[in-house]
Amino acid sequence: MTDDRWDADPDLGPVVVSEKALAERVAELGTELTADYEGRPPLLVGVLKGAFVFMSDLARAIRQPVEIDVMAVASYGSATTTSGVVRIVKDLDSDLTDRHVLVVEDIVDSGLTLSYIRRNLLARQPASVEICALLVKEGRQRARIDLKYVGFHIPPDFVVGYGLDVAERYRNVPDVRVYRGPVPVD
């Protein structure tokens, strides 16, 4: 089922992942993570801003205590393609030493940002670091990343909704849709 309000927006294209499919897959991931982290509560590290909706739903789907922290990195600016240069804009508040860390990411495009984040977190001596990505764009990865948990593999279109944006817009769309509007320039 789609939302007519968003269907009328000329900058939004077809639904790539429906609201229903998102809810079902997040519930499945929550069940899997509950089992995999039994007896060792994870620290969920959300990558802002795009992962905040996914992380919120995922945290509620995990049926054991979790802790949450966030970090913000920049590699896109307001453009629709990564610059390839990653910088930490907001670092974690938590000490990762001997912690089981689960990085929660909205979308994996080139993989460069996530590769950088993983290396950065591993240097902080955690017990483990795993990655849970909601979306992985097919055929776009330039860096090899071990993704233990993946929501959906999608075509390489630029997408918005469910936390993903273009120039800070469309994060509140309840499903994931192709963006076909004007491309912002940095």
Question: pLDDT digit string (tens) for 122-172?
Answer: 999 999 999 999 999 987 666 678 899 999 999 999 999 999 999 999 999
The hierarchical CATH code for the domain 16-160 is 3.40.50.2020
The model's pTM is: 0.89
Report domain extents, the chain: 16-160
pLDDT tens sequence across 13-36: 999 999 999 999 999 999 999 999
3-state class of 167 per DSSP?
Answer: coil
Confidence bin at 90 (pLDDT 50/70/90): very high
Residues labelled as active-site residues: 109
CA dist., res. 58 & res. 72, Å (int): 18
8 Å CB contact between 106 and 51 = yes
Residue 2 neighbours by CB distance under 10 Å: 13
